[in-house]
Amino acid sequence: MTSKTALPLRPAALRLGVNIDHVATIRNARGGLHPDPVRAARQAAEAGADGITAHLREDRRHISDRDIERLVAEVDRPLNLEMAATDEMLAIALRHKPHAACLVPERRAERTTEGGLDAAGQQDALMPVVAALRDAGIRVSLFIEADRRQLAAAVALGAPVVELHTGAWCEAMLEDPAGAAAARHLERLVTGAALAADLGLECHAGHGLTFDTVGAIAALPTIAELNIGHFLVGEAIFGGLDSAIRRMRALMDRARATAGGQRSA
């Protein structure tokens, strides 16, 4: 007899990319070799990271060229290279051929990546960079705001992946988790993640995520990957990197499993 009971929909797997930039920030504060971001990447892999993310900035304020070389050669996890869409960075990406390249906006004076890439306004400049990365077999992602115009531009550019910028929502959550701004930003992310999937884009998210905020984003069923760095490196000071990553992973998995349950028929 065939059971008519509908099985719960299996939510898509959710990957964790651990961004190790700020291990390099601490190393560079003294100019030596310790702490080594490659060692952190290996530990992250052991703790459950599915991938490693590193941003080679134009000013090399944290990750260095040598770090990228070593992350590709020595770490048994796919590397997601965050980079500005410049000739210099494109040449580096083509030389190292990371698994993925995430194009981010970059201004020298900013403390961190502020706001998403204006993919809609810079289509002509981005087009050859996206094409060259794709031709080299590198999975291209665009770090954008959860905005219909930007998502449509990602499709027009032929980028298979977008990463939705969660920074503004995380900041609003710090100020007032129950406030209207936080609700508005979250709604935008919810709509954007659904629209990305409708447009055939693989959807990632990241920036500013913490133990308190990761659940709401992990629960969005179309999100395939979260990239998290600063908070994990900060938490590592108190309880170790391994335990911070394991806890983040558990929070993500729990939120995703619960969301799957809610979607079951």
Residues with a catalytic annotation lie at 55, 82, 207
Answer yes or no whether residue 208 interacts with ligand PXP by CB under 6 A.
Answer: yes
Nearer to ligand PXP, 112 or 264 (CB): 112
Span interacting with ligand PXP, options 8-16, 119-127, 183-191, 207-215, rule CB under 6 A: 207-215
CB of 233 to ligand PXP, least distance (A): 8
Answer yes or no whether residue 80 interacts with ligand PXP by CB under 6 A.
Answer: no
Asked whether the beta carbons of 35 and 233 are under 8 A apart, the reply is no
CB of 148 to ligand PXP, least distance (A): 20
Angle between helices 37-47 and 21-30 (to 10 degrees): 150
CB of 205 to ligand PXP, least distance (A): 8
Task: State which of positions 44-73 bind ligand PXP (CB under 6 A).
Answer: 55
- Alpha-carbon span 260 to 63, nearest angstrom: 37
Distances (CA, A) of 114 to 18, 23, 76, 119, 169: 19, 20, 30, 15, 13
- Alpha-carbon span 221 to 12, nearest angstrom: 7
In the DSSP assignment, the letter for residue 33 is S
Site for ligand PXP (CB under 6 A): which residue of 47, 83, 100, 102?
102
Answer yes or no whether residue 106 interacts with ligand PXP by CB under 6 A.
Answer: no
Give per-residue burial for 23-50: e unless 16+ CB within 10 Å, then b. Answer: bbbbbeeeeeeebbbbbbbbbbbebbbb
Site for ligand PXP (CB under 6 A): which residue of 230, 246, 247, 254?
230
- Alpha-carbon span 30 to 35, nearest angstrom: 10
Site for ligand PXP (CB under 6 A): which residue of 56, 79, 100, 104?
104
Give me the residues paired with residue 81 across strands.
54, 101
Answer yes or no whether residue 82 interacts with ligand PXP by CB under 6 A.
Answer: yes
Nearer to ligand PXP, 150 or 227 (CB): 227
Asked whether the beta carbons of 23 and 75 are under 8 A apart, the reply is no
Residues near ligand PXP, by CB under 6 A: 19, 21, 55, 82, 102, 104, 112-113, 143, 163, 206-209, 227-231
